[in-house]
């Protein structure tokens, strides 16, 4: 996989994750984005032995967009703290089926994850083992059948955006796990992490990364 590097300093590296790529190796043994980044750093910098790379946050396999890794333990701990304290601002874009109930709004639910089925359930009230999930959204475009939506998650729960949009009656295009009508040919879902704002690990400086909405999505909504 050819890496698309979006940002790099001594402590952090941000890359673009294609839809379908595993972010971290699992029991399948399939190659992952972390493997590719480690190999890139090892070869470029001619590093002997293993390369340290910390996973700070995740994107689901069918989702594409910005992923930030730590190249040092200091970078890992400081950025993990920012994510944990909700100091990192994240923007996603999605094409959903249908039209959201409002042009813009806030969604608050309680989510529980079934790890056997790898699926998140949405509850209106707190349940045993559930966690509060909050996001806001803004509809940018719609043809009445599908809509382009910007999403601003406050919390970062597993499958949060996918589950909460489906609960609104607007499953993400291609996301059959959460009620979409049909899969996409490449088994991706029309969800991308398009913006990330954070503080650098060793400087009092804010960094914002942005990427464009995938061009293929233009075919999802009729002009």
Q: Which of these ranges, 8-12, 15-19, 217-221, has the smallest mean pLDDT?
A: 217-221
Residues forming the active site: 60
Mean pLDDT of 114-118: 91
Contact 25, 37 (CB under 8 A): no
Percent of the chain, pLDDT > 90? 90
Does the pLDDT at position 181 exceed 90? yes
- Long-range CB contact pairs, 140-143, < 8 A, 24+: 140/93, 141/221, 142/99, 142/221, 143/221, 143/222, 143/223
Contact 8, 14 (CB under 8 A): yes
Does the pLDDT at position 27 exceed 90? no
Residue-wise pLDDT for 129-165, tens only, equals 999 999 999 999 999 999 999 999 999 999 999 999 9
**In angstroms, rounded to a whole number, what is the distance separating the alpha carbons of residues 175 and 28?**
22
Q: Is 195 left (phi over 0), alpha (psi -120 to 50) or beta?
A: beta
Does the pLDDT at position 41 exceed 70? yes
Mean pLDDT of 204-218: 95
Higher-scoring residue by pLDDT: 162, 222: 162
Strand segments, DSSP code E, in 59-187 are 64-70, 89-97, 104-114, 119-123, 131-142, 146-153
| Residue 1 pLDDT grade (very low, low, confident, very high; cuts 50, 70, 90) | low
Contact 11, 201 (CB under 8 A): yes
Please give the pLDDT value at position 222: 78
Maximum distance among all alpha carbons in the chain?
A: 56
Residue 65 CA: distances (Å) to CA of 23, 81, 93:
11, 21, 10
Six-digit token pair at 173? 């295009």
Six-digit token pair at 196? 């990330």
| Residue 31 pLDDT grade (very low, low, confident, very high; cuts 50, 70, 90) | confident
| Residue 25 pLDDT grade (very low, low, confident, very high; cuts 50, 70, 90) | confident
- Taking the domains of the chain in order of start, what are their residue ranges? 5-219
Return the CATH superfamily for domain 5-219: Pseudouridine synthase (3.30.2350.10)
Distance in angstroms between the alpha carbons of the first and the last residue of the chain: 34
């Amino acid at each position: 996989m050819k890496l698309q590097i979006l940002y790099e300093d001594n402590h952090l590296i941000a890359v673009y994750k294609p839809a379908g790529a595993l972010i971290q190796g699992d029991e399948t043994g399939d190659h992952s984005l972390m493997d590719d980044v480690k190999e890139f750093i090892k070869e470029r910098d001619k590093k002997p032995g293993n390369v340290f790379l910390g996973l700070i946050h995740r994107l689901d396999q069918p989702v594409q967009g910005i992923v930030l890794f730590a190249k040092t333990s200091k970078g890992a701990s400081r950025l993990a703290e920012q994510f944990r304290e909700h100091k990192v601002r994240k923007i996603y874009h999605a094409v959903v089926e249908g039209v959201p109930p409002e042009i813009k709004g806030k969604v608050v639910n309680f989510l529980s994850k079934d790890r056997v089925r790898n699926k998140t359930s949405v509850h209106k009230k707190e349940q045993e083992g559930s966690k509060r999930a909050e996001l806001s959204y803004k509809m940018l475009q719609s043809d009445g059948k599908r809509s382009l939506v910007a999403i601003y998650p406050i919390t970062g729960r597993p499958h949060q955006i996918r589950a909460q949009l489906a609960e609104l009656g607007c499953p993400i295009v291609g996301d059959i796990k959460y009620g979409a009508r049909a899969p996409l040919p490449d088994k991706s879902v029309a969800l991308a992490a398009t913006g990330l704002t954070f503080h650098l690990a060793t400087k009092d400086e804010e960094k914002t990364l942005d990427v464009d909405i995938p061009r293929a999505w233009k075919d999802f909504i009729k002009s």
